[in-house]
Amino acid sequence: MDNFDIGLLSFPVLMLLIFLRMPIGLAMFAVGFGGLYFVTGGTVVALAKMKSEAYSTFSSYSLSIVPMFLLMGQFATLGGMSKALFKAAESWLGHLRGGVAMAAIGACAGFGAICGSSLATAATMGQVALPELKRYGYSGGFSSATLAAGGTLGILIPPSVILVIYAILTEQNIAKLFLAAFIPGILAAIGYMITVSIYVRLNPDAAGTRPAVPMSERFEAMINVIPVLVVFLLVVGGIYLGIFTPTEGAAVGAMGTGVIAWWSGGLRGRAWLDSFLATAKSTAMIFFIVLGAAFYNSFLALTQVPQELSQWVVEQGFNPWVVLSIILVLYLVFGCLMDSLSMILLTIPIFWPIISILDFGLSTEELAIWFGIIVLIVVEVGLITPPVGMNLFVINSMDRETPIVKTYGAVMYFVGSDIIRVIILVLFPGITLFLLRLLH
Amino acid sequence: QDVTLKMHQFLPAQAKVPTDILDVWADKIEAESDGRIKIDRYPSMQLGGRPPELADQVVDGIADIIWTVTGYTPGRFPRSEAFEMPFIMTNGEDTSRAYWQYVENNMLDQDFAELKMLGVWVHGPGLIHSKSPITSVADLNGVKLRAPTRVTNKMFTDMGATTVGMPVPAVPEALSKGVIDATVIPWEVTTALKVSELVENHTTWPDNALYTTTFIFAMNKDKYEALPDDLKAVIDANSGEEFSAFAGKTMQAADQQGLDFAMERGNNIIDLSEEQIAEWKEAAAPIEAWWVEEMDKAGIDGQALLDEAKALIEENSK
Amino acid sequence: MYRVFLTLARFAAILGGIVLTALIVLTVVSVAGRALNTMMHWLIDIGLLGGLAQSVLDMGVGPVLGDFELVEAGIAFCIFAFLPLAQITGAHATVDILTSRFPDGVNRALTALWEVIFAVVLIVMAWKLYDGMQGKMRYNETTMLLQFPVWWSYAASLGGAVAAALVATYVALARLAEAATGRVILKGAL
Ligand code: NA
Ligand code: NA
């Protein structure tokens, strides 16, 4: 068995371990370690790598964005920003048919603009909106599905932890990726709202009604959203306009939301410590996966699998669009079972070299950005596709009365909306690249 | 083949140093060993880690051959800093030849004791690329400037610049966003980093070099020792002084492209006059004393090393 | 026992959170310093309030020297310090689609197996980090701008790594006991 075979064999082994519920980061680490053992003929190299690999992965300046964005999301919740967003959206949309669900989507989009993680968005908005949806007679399955789908806006709308990691893997500009994600993110929110209105027309029993709120109250609710807007403009605008680097933007955002939370009295004693604990758990989870992937990928590089695979694809002379479609379908299938971060870390080092040498009529930079946004969307679909969808689980854990199967049924409408959006963005790269081309 | 060697470095495969120097060397080794040595090339840190770890990687055997910037691990190869002193280098070829001789005399059983050295070299004269024109030392005042090494950072800080530390790949973004106003790098690197599109002014020191950066190309010692004698001979025949001189010459030759590109764009190329250069020399001079003192603290005779470096450069540049 | 290790993990995480907060403040101060510096130079250039601007600059207002280096060193400590909590609360991402159909006993055995492997990995990681630290000491490596020894950052991280190894060992033993007796020792997520 030569190195290339060992590299190929590592895929099924890794999958088997993951499906036996080995923690994903640990599985990648273990397979990478074992692979290095076979390829280099001993543990010397693998152990030597451990001397510096963990420290160098954890001390990355670019990755320091991740805990900062996560902490920022915690502070935003403590500062009452999630509540303010939902109140504002609800006062404008609540009286429409399915309006409270639409408001939940709108509030998720708003929260996504100051939070870099989907799970955090789903969890935060779930806490705020789930009781309200129940109160106005929305069915459990539909409410959970709406919030799970809305949660994905946390990553689709910049800032976005996954885009940061994609940017590092493909050596692309984080600010440009954030800019490119903006229109697709808004399209996602609009698509979800349309989905809500279609769903309540097909299932009239799934949603209750609520009287309209007077205009004065609506504008009053808007005022409370101003801090959210300010933080978003400061962070994403600041990163884009070049007032600071992405890491600096994350720091400014975390400090800004922290001050707001402090001001509003949400950041006292226990709550502050809890925000540290929550940030610690998510951060450690993410970084261990990043470390496992780094280990696994350096083993894979030694086996030359990524290089030979991409060369093979090119030699076959496949149509670029067919290759892209196959890759996207693979993501959708694996997305039903795996989480998005692991998928990105595992596959981008293999798929990006393939995509980068195919001709889509775009420059390498535009191609990297367009491909990144589309991959981002398809892996995020994985968060809401049954059976394994992290967002579904998060919401389900907050609403034990609703069997998850009911949520599975309703969420498929949102998955449909996602797939339509992916097809549109694949067919018209100009939509994703519009802002980028406009501003450069 | 008998042996496969993993060659690891941080630049993309299509950059000048890999294509014109490292691949040339590797191809030659493969050919002259009749294919008994195969060299697998891993550009862009494909084997993992970050550029400062390359030195550890080759010692530990994670990679068999590496190329890296000596200054990425400040403090580890202190003696090499003599060649980073301002206004010391003449041209890439001669200075690299001198550097190899200096390494043989002073560093092989010290700084580089754990490495099998294949070549050492310097890049062409370094210069300043800036948003606002810089002609006198006073123009540096308050300029946010990125420099590559411990020595250069100290020097520019002392001259009044606000030095900002960051990895090279971050330079284009930082320039375009005003995080920095200027950077020092040789012309060769400006092409890949698109520096000439981001700044309009380039200050040069004709017939002089404000600074340079040193590089090492090294092999794992055990891996080398384990080779049969005839294969060792192939490696030896292609390593050392001649190869170092070739690498330094090739790297400086690549500067022309960067200069041409900046001229094509109509950028402002400032060639300082003799008098202006004299002012810079005076301002830069204290760094030598600082360095000698630093070396003394580490128990190294800095003055002797500096004198030897200067003498070797002069001798080789005749 | 559970209380002791949970407290250790929480303590490490909160320490990491405090360092993270400090890094955030440091970065914001650096950004503000840079912005002020740029603004003062601009004022001097356009000839407005030049004297005031110059005196502000003379006070040394500008970006914090070596802010990148401090963030890198600090963030490494944070991540290592966060690991113990993730370990004891079972925060690591898993896929349980297949195993949810397995009998309880099998699942407990699997959990114990993975936690044992995890503990081994974290112990080796702490040991190797110690090795790495010794290398940095031996080679006298420093950072570029502030020139503080790199091994200092390694040493700080080592603290977190050792805590992670300790907690992981406890978790592994507890999971083994759970698999053997069927009793619940670790409460799982907080
Ligand atoms: Na977001
Ligand atoms: Na899924």
Beta strand ranges found along B158-210 (DSSP E): 162-163, 182-185, 201-204
CA C188 to chain centre: 22
Question: The domain containing residue C122 runs over which residues?
Answer: 2-181
pLDDT band at A378 (very low <50, low <70, confident <90, very high): very high
Residue of A52, A173, A301 lying closest to B53 (CB–CB): A52
Looking at A80-89, B68-77, B170-179, C171-180, which range is the least confident one?
Answer: B170-179
A46/chain C closest Cα distance in angstroms: 11
Q: What is the ipTM of this complex?
A: 0.92
In the block, tokens 């290592």 appear at: C80
CA distance A360 to A294: 29
Q: How far is CA A55 from CA A225, C78, C118, C129, C133, in A?
A: 40, 11, 18, 7, 10
Beta carbon pairs, A and B, within 8 Å: 56
Span A119-146, pLDDT tens digits: 888 888 888 899 889 989 999 999 999 9
Most C CBs within 10 A among B164, B181, B184, B295, hence the mutation to make, goes to B164
Instruction: Using a CB cutoff of 5 Å, list residues around ligand 2, an ion.
Output: A 336, 382, 385, 388-389
> Would C137 be classed as within a structural domain?
yes
- Domains of chain A, by residue range, sit at 1-59+288-303, 60-268+304-439
Nearest CA in chain C to A33: C121
Residue C148 in tokens: 């503080």
Chain B window 12-71: which residues touch C at a Cβ cutoff of 8 Å?
56, 71
| C-beta atoms of A56 and B49 within 8 A | yes
Q: Say which of C62, C140, C145 has its CB closest to residue B153.
A: C145
CA distance A360 to A82: 40
Between C75, C117, C135, which is nearest A64 by CB?
C75
Mean pLDDT of A161-181: 85
Nearest to A48 among B50, B61, B173 (CB): B61
**Rounded CA gap, A161 and A165, in Å?**
7
Structure tokens at B283: 């301002």
Chains touching A by CB (3 or more pairs below 8 Å): B, C
Chain C residue closest to B294 (CA)?
A: C147
Which of B 72-101 lie inside 8 A of C, CB atoms? 73-76, 78
Per-residue pLDDT, A336: 76
β-pairing, B182-185 with B115-122?
unpaired
- Chain C neighbours (≥3 Cβ pairs under 8 A) are A, B
Tell me the residues surrounding ligand 1 (ion) with CB < 5 Å: A 112, 157, 159-160
Centre a 10 Å sphere on the Cβ of residue A111 and count the other Cβ atoms it contains: 29
pLDDT: is C158 or A354 the higher one?
C158
Helix (H, G, I), strand (E, B) or coil at A191: helix
pLDDT band for A395, please (50, 70, 90 cuts).
confident
Residue A73's closest CA among A39, A121, A25? A121
Asked if C102 contacts C115 with a C-beta cutoff of 8 angstroms, the reply is: no
Mean pLDDT of B164-190: 83
Question: By CA distance, what is A57's nearest residue in B?
Answer: B49
Cβ contact B44:B51 at 8 Å: no
CA atoms within 13 A on the CB side of B253: 11
Q: How do beta strands B214-220 and B65-69 pair?
A: antiparallel
User: Which tokens hold the place of C172?
Assistant: 């592994």
Partner-chain contact C93 A285, CB within 8 Å: yes
Closest Cα partner for C145 from C41, C65, C48? C65
* Dihedral pair phi/psi, residue B164, rounded to 5°: -120, 125
How many whole angstroms from B65 Cα to the centroid of ligand 2? 43
DSSP helix/strand/coil, A148? helix
* C42 contacts in chain B (CB < 8 Å): none
DSSP state of A212: P
Of A52, A61, A298, the CB nearest to B47: A298
The one-character DSSP state at C136 is H
| Strand order through the sheet with B127-130 | B162-163, B144-146, B182-185, B127-130, B201-204, B268-271
* Cβ–Cβ gap A245/B176 under 8 Å: no
| pLDDT tens, residue by residue, B82-111 | 999 999 999 999 999 999 999 999 999 999
Contact of A242 with chain B, judged by CB distance below 8 Å, is answered with yes
Give the one of A22, A244, A276 whose C-beta lies nearest to C17's C-beta: A276
Contact yes or no for C117 and A252 at CB 8 A? no
Read off the pLDDT of residues A201-240 as tens digits, 9 standing for 90 and up.
Answer: 999 988 887 888 898 989 988 898 898 889 888 888 888 7
Q: Which ligand is nearest to the CA of A418?
A: 2
B167 has a pLDDT exceeding 70: no
Position C151, amino acid: W
| Token duo for residue C158 | 């080592």
Contact in structure between A162 and A341 (CB atoms under 8 Å) = yes
Per residue in B236-286, pLDDT tens? 999 999 999 999 999 999 999 999 999 999 999 999 999 999 999 999 999
Tell me the three state secondary structure of residue B14.
Answer: coil
**Do B142 and C66 count as a contact with CB atoms less than 8 A apart?**
no
Task: State the smallest CA–CA distance between residue C166 and chain A in angstroms.
Answer: 16
Q: Are the beta carbons of B173 and A175 separated by less than 8 Å?
A: yes
Cβ-contact B90, B308 below 8 angstroms: no
| Helix (H), strand (E), coil (C) string for A337-372 | CCCHHHHHHHHHHHHHHHHHCCCCCCCHHHHHHHHH
- Tokens found for residue A122: 């789903």
What is the maximum span of chain B, computed from C-alpha positions, in angstroms? 60
Of the pLDDT bands very low, low, confident and very high (cuts 50, 70, 90), residue C189 is very low
| DSSP per residue, A24-64 | HHHHHHHHHHHHHHHHHTSSHHHHHHHHHHHHHHHT-TGGG
Instruction: Check: CB of residue A287 under 8 Å from CB of residue C85.
Output: no
Give the nearest partner residue to A48 out of B50, B60, B176, using CB atoms: B60
User: If contacts are CB pairs under 8 Å, which of residues 145-184 in chain C contact chain A?
Assistant: 153-154, 157, 161
Burial of B147 (0-12, 13-18, 19+ CB in 10 A): buried
Contact assignment for C95 to A24 by CB distance below 8 Å: yes
**How many domains does one find in chain C?**
1
- From the CA of A235, how far away is ligand 1's center (Å)? 11
User: Closest to C95 (Cβ–Cβ): which among A50, A67, A388?
Assistant: A388
- For residue C186, tell me if it sits in a domain: no
Q: Cβ of A281 and C89 within 8 Å?
A: yes
Interchain pair B74, C143: CB under 8 A: yes
- Rounded CA separation A383/A390 (Å): 5
CA distance B315 to chain C (A): 32
In a domain, C105, yes or no: yes
Nearest CA-CA partner of A414 in A86, A143, A125: A143
Contacts of C139 in chain B (CB under 8 A): 73, 75-76
Tell me the residues of chain C between 63 and 122 that have a Cβ less than 8 Å away from chain B. 63, 65-66, 68-69
Distance A340 CA to ligand 2 centre (A): 9
Q: State the pairing for strand pair B37-42/B214-220.
A: unpaired
Residue C12: which of A280, A267, A59 has the closest Cα?
Answer: A280
C-alpha–C-alpha distance, residues A251 and C26, integer Å:
9
- C28-74 pLDDT, tens digit per residue, is 999 999 888 888 888 888 888 888 888 888 887 888 988 989 999 99
CB B165 within 8 A of CB B236: no
Q: Is A223 on the interface with B (CB under 8 A)?
A: no
Decide: A271 and A80 in contact? Cβ < 8 Å: no
Count Cβ atoms within 10 A of the Cβ of residue C4 and give its class: 0-12 exposed, 13-18 middle, 19 or more buried: exposed
- Among candidate residues A250, A343, A331, the one with its CA nearest the CA of residue A290: A343
Q: Greatest CA separation found in chain A?
A: 74
Average pLDDT, chain C: 92
**How many B/C residue pairs have CB atoms within 8 Å?**
51
Chain C hits for A270, Cβ within 8 Å = none
Contact A26 C92 (CB under 8 A): yes
pLDDT, residue A239, reads 81
For residue A384, which phi and psi values (nearest 5 degrees)?
-120, 5
Radius of gyration of chain A from Cα atoms? 22
What's the gap in Å between B171 CA and the centre of ligand 1?
Answer: 26
pLDDT at residue C190, as a whole number: 40
Here the tokens at position A99 are: 């309006």
Taking the C-alpha atoms of residue A88 and residue A106, their distance in angstroms, rounded to an integer, is 9
Contacts of A138 (CB under 8 A, 6+ apart): A100, A101, A146, A206, A207, A208
A133, A229, A233, A254, A394 from A151: Cα distances, Å: 15, 19, 21, 20, 10
Q: How far is B21 from chain A (nearest CA, A)?
A: 22
- Two structure tokens written together for C91: 């925060």
d(CA A154, CA A108): 7
Which residues 6+ apart lie within 8 Å of B189 measured at CB? B168, B195, B258
- Note if the bond before A387 is cis, omega within 30 degrees: yes
Averaged pLDDT for residues B294-312? 96
Best C56, C141, C144 member to test B by mutation, with max B CBs in 10 Å, is: C144
Tell me what pLDDT residue A291 has: 92
147-166 in C: which are within 8 Å (CB) of B? 147, 149
In this structure, are residues A124 and A154 in contact, taking their beta carbons and an 8 Å threshold? no
- Cβ neighbours for A380, distance < 8 A, ≥ 6 positions apart: A118, A152, A155, A156, A162, A340, A418
pTM value?
A: 0.90
Instruction: For chain B, give the percent of residues with pLDDT over 70.
Output: 99
Number of neighbouring beta carbons within 10 Å of residue A208: 17
Residue A210, pLDDT score: 84
Q: Which of the ligands is closest to the CA of residue A391? A: 2
Q: Report chain A's mean pLDDT, rounded to a whole number.
A: 89
DSSP B19: I
Q: At what angle do helices A81-93 and A65-78 cross, to 10 degrees?
A: 60
Q: Quote the Cα angle for B47-B49-B50, to 5°.
A: 120
Ligand 1 centroid vs A205 CA: distance in angstroms?
A: 32
Cβ separation A45–B42 shorter than 8 A: no
Torsion of CA B87, B91, B96, B99, to 10 degrees: -30
pLDDT more than 70, % of chain C: 98
| Chain A (290-319) residues lying within 8 Å, Cβ to Cβ, of chain B | 294-295, 297-298, 301-302, 304
pLDDT digit string (tens) for A296-344? 888 988 888 887 887 888 788 889 999 999 999 988 887 777 667 777 8
Quick one: what percent of chain A has pLDDT higher than 70? 99
